[in-house]
């Protein structure tokens, strides 16, 4: 079944033309997946509105290039033009409309006009960009990142810890959310003890964990070392590999060659009838947004899994989803993410940081 995203978008110009910005959101089943906003420099209201639409469509397409997208905007002009009911006479608008149409298959997109009061989230983001001075496109991301890193705002720091070695880890068998639910080996327990000491030295304020046996056991070691009571949250469980559970990659290739080919060719494919990488990515993004909103400026340890942390790395670096195929996370390693609550800027500060037992 195709995924269905809702994109809301808005834009505004103080002067028309004047200082302009856009805002957009992407959500799925009522869960917010992304907030997008930026300054545009000097532009008109219509350019800003189209820019919000383009940003929202790009993000939705990145999350799943085969998804259905329902766009909601309070701009009658953009909705009617993109629906093909109104002609686009201005050449600049035609160029922006063509750009929007090229992002995602138009047959998968529907457009709906909504009253301004129902588009308050996207409108608020556009005004946030204008009020807070989010960088215009003429300003380099490097300069902006440097400014944010030296600012006085305290970021939310999240240490993502992969669980220790399980009975399936040495053979690299698929291990998701299935009934096998493998425990840690003696080696895995030692790894968990080592990473627990390192995490304790960093003084986290909250401990969150996936509620699977291997993460429960790892979180117990962290809990013992830090004195923090773990909060178990399904948001951080591993990818569901369906009936691939317990098989090695070569065994899947031999027993289910068509499924294996499908999985390698599409991030929207559900391995073994389980959960796609695109779905894991969406779940992880929503989880990070929730953590930053709930614990702004705090230090958090999250005990989770390999595929989940791969998705975190892709999100942190704004990389393509395909990058998840090219990352591997060591057992009981630490991946550090900093997120600035005021504008959502994120920085990957370490990836699969090895902790050696002493």
Count CB neighbours of 171 within 10 A: 11
The active-site residue out of 49, 165, 238, 275 is 238
CB 93 within 8 A of CB 29: no
Q: Report in angstroms the alpha-carbon separations of 244 from 143, 253, 257, 260, 262.
A: 45, 10, 12, 10, 14
Residue 104 bears catalytic tag: no
Catalytic residue among 61, 104, 163, 305: 163
- Strand intervals (E) in the chain: 4-14, 18-28, 31-43, 68-73, 109-113, 156-162, 206-209, 231-232, 299-304, 334-339, 346-353
Q: Structure tokens of 147?
A: 């400014």
Q: Which helix (H) or strand (E) holds 263?
A: helix 257-265
Whether the ω angle into residue 17 lies within 30 degrees of 0, i.e. cis, is: yes
Q: Which of 82, 89, 30 is nearest to 52 (CA)?
A: 82
165 catalytic residue (yes or no): no
> Which residues participate in catalysis according to the annotation?
163, 238
């Amino acid at each position: 079944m195709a995924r269905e995203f809702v994109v809301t978008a808005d834009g505004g110009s103080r002067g028309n033309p004047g200082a302009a910005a856009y805002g957009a959101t992407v959500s799925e089943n009522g869960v917010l997946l992304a907030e997008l906003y930026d300054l545009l420099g000097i532009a008109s209201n219509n350019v800003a509105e189209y820019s919000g639409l383009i940003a929202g469509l790009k993000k939705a397409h990145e999350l799943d290039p085969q998804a259905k997208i329902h766009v909601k905007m309070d701009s009658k002009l953009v909705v009617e033009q993109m629906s093909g009911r109104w002609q686009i006479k201005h050449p600049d608008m035609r160029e922006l409309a063509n750009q929007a149409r090229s992002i995602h298959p138009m047959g998968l997109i529907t457009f709906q006009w909504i009253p301004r009061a129902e588009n308050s989230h996207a409108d608020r983001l556009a005004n946030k960009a204008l009020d807070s001075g989010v960088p215009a496109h003429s300003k380099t991301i490097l300069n902006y990142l440097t400014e944010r890193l030296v600012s006085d705002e305290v970021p939310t720091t999240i240490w993502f810890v992969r669980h220790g070695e399980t009975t399936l880890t040495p053979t690299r068998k698929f291990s998701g959310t299935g009934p096998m639910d493998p425990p840690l080996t003696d080696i895995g327990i030692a790894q968990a003890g080592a990473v627990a000491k390192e995490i304790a030295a960093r003084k986290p304020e909250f401990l969150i964990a996936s509620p699977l046996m291997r993460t429960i056991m790892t979180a117990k070691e962290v809990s013992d070392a830090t004195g923090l009571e773990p909060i178990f949250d399904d948001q951080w469980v591993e990818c569901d590999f369906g009936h691939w559970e317990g098989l090695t990659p070569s065994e899947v290739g031999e027993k289910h060659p068509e499924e294996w080919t499908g999985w390698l060719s599409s991030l929207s494919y559900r391995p073994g009838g389980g959960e796609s990488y695109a779905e894991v990515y969406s779940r992880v993004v929503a989880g990070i947004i929730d953590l930053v909103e709930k614990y702004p400026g705090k230090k958090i340890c999250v005990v989770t899994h390999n595929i989940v942390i791969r998705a975190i790395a892709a999100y942190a670096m704004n990389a393509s989803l395909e990058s998840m195929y090219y990352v591997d996370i060591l057992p009981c390693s630490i991946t550090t993410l900093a997120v600035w609550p005021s504008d959502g800027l994120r920085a990957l500060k370490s990836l699969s940081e090895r902790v050696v037992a002493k």
